[in-house]
């Protein structure tokens, strides 16, 4: 199977330095192997979407010189596929009407970190009542080898509990959509931020149930701001701007352990990308977070 990678941002905010790292690393990993690189907008959670974010993400990626293969896939166009997958998983799922408050109380009572206790597993919930759909998970260690972070294992029952595949408001969960689309798009290599590392076992389990191949995974360390906080849309990481692309990309390459020459060395984005594709080595990406210089 030929190498296919992807970048899959959620349009909940503008592109920031953390997402630039994921885009850059996944792009270089694919291009340095003569692989394909696809762009997918994970735009399922319309209520959390920020207006114009999809267009702005696409525009910024273009301005930075990223070139994706084929058309952009929008998850909002793929609802039938998620519904089909949910149908296939039917014997492994059940409906759940727990309120957020109830879940929090259960978690507190059990001194756990929002691990679902299976409260609705044996409840008969009328079809007309809005309900989330949860997947029953096994008590069994799921293991995989991460190309950057090494071996990782997780017991789904202990770490997350039966997790949601479709919310009560009808929105399909990230876990289901990402697995269906990675398989459908033939993704063989996933490179993304380490904030998603502990989601991977859920995705491996779904792939197993749906009869999909497991992709290879590489999780890149999270960028931090000057206070040591992870850069995310939640912590209001500043958006990256198109006018500063060479400097930002050199900065990203530095962070990714690639020892790039200084920004002045590159007169054009093209020469920067040529250099980066030629010199890219995934095994140089550091395991530990080191703060890039501002
Ligand atoms: N859409 C997810 C995010 O922006 C990333 C999905 C993935 O790479 O698996 O956090
Ligand atoms: Zn419930």
Q: Look at residue 82 and tell me if it is in a domain.
A: no
Domain shared by 62 and 123, yes or no: no
**Does residue 48 fall inside a structural domain?**
yes
Question: In this structure, are 223 and 264 located in the same domain?
Answer: yes
Q: Residue 135's domain spans which residues?
A: 90-166
**Inside any domain, residue 202:** no
10 lines ligand 1 (CB under 6 A): yes
CA angle (254, 260, 262) in 5-degree steps: 100
What is the pTM assigned to this prediction?
Answer: 0.93
Q: Is 52 exposed, middle or buried (0-12, 13-18, 19+ CB in 10 A)?
A: exposed
Same domain, 125 and 54: no
User: What residues form DSSP beta bridges with 139?
Assistant: none
User: What average pLDDT does this structure show over 273-286?
Assistant: 97
- pLDDT above 70: residue 255: yes
Q: Is residue 125 part of a domain?
A: yes
- Mention every residue, 6+ apart, whose C-beta is less than 8 A from residue 192: 8, 22, 26, 218, 219, 220
Instruction: Clarify whether residues 219 and 132 are in a common domain.
Output: no
Looking at the CA of 219, name the nearest ligand.
Answer: 1
pLDDT at 294: 46
Q: How far apart are the first and last CA of the chain?
A: 40
pLDDT at position 83 is 98
Is residue 272 one of the residues assigned to a domain? yes
Please give the distance, rounded to the nearest whole angstrom, from the Cα atom of residue 135 to the centre of ligand 2. Answer: 11
The share of the chain scoring above pLDDT 90, in percent, equals 75
Q: Residues 36-42: what's their mean pLDDT? A: 98
Do 192 and 271 lie in a common domain?
yes
Residues 162 and 192 in one domain: no
Tokens 């876990």 appear where?
175
Instruction: Count up the domains in the chain and report the number.
Output: 2
Is the pLDDT assigned to residue 224 strictly greater than 90? no
Q: What is the pLDDT of residues 240-253, one digit of tens each?
A: 888 889 999 999 99
Specify the pLDDT at position 292.
46
- CB of 192 within 6 A of ligand 1: the answer is yes
- Token readout for 126 is 């009328």
Residues 9/42, Cβ–Cβ less than 8 Å: yes
Give a yes or no: residue 179 inside a domain.
no
pLDDT at 234: 56
């Amino acid at each position: 199977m030929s190498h296919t990678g992807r970048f899959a941002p959620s349009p909940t905010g503008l592109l920031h330095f953390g997402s630039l790292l994921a885009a850059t690393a996944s792009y270089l990993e694919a291009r340095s192997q003569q692989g394909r690189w696809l762009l997918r907008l994970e735009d399922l959670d319309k209520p959390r979407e920020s207006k114009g974010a999809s267009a702005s993400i696409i525009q910024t990626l273009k301005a930075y010189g990223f070139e994706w293969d084929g058309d952009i896939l929008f998850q909002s166009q793929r609802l039938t596929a998620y519904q089909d997958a949910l149908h296939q998983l039917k014997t492994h799922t059940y409906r759940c009407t727990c309120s957020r408050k109830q879940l929090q109380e259960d978690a507190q009572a059990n001194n756990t970190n929002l691990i679902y206790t299976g409260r609705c597993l044996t409840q008969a919930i009328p079809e007309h009542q809005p309900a989330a759909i949860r997947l029953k998970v096994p008590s069994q260690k799921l293991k995989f080898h991460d190309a950057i972070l090494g071996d990782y294992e997780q017991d789904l029952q202990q770490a997350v509990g039966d997790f949601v595949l479709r919310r009560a408001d009808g929105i399909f969960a990230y876990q289901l959509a990402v697995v269906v689309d990675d398989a459908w798009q033939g993704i063989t290599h996933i490179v993304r931020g380490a904030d998603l590392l502990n989601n991977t076992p859920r995705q491996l389990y779904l792939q197993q149930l749906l009869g999909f191949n497991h992709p290879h995974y590489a999780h890149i360390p999270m960028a931090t701001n000057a206070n040591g906080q992870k850069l995310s849309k939640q912590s209001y990481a500043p958006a990256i701007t198109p006018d500063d692309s060479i400097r930002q990309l050199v900065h990203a390459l530095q962070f990714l352990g690639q020892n790039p020459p200084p920004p002045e060395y590159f007169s054009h984005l093209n020469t920067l990308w040529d250099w980066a594709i030629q010199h890219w080595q995934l095994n140089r990406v550091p395991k530990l977070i080191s703060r890039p210089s501002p």
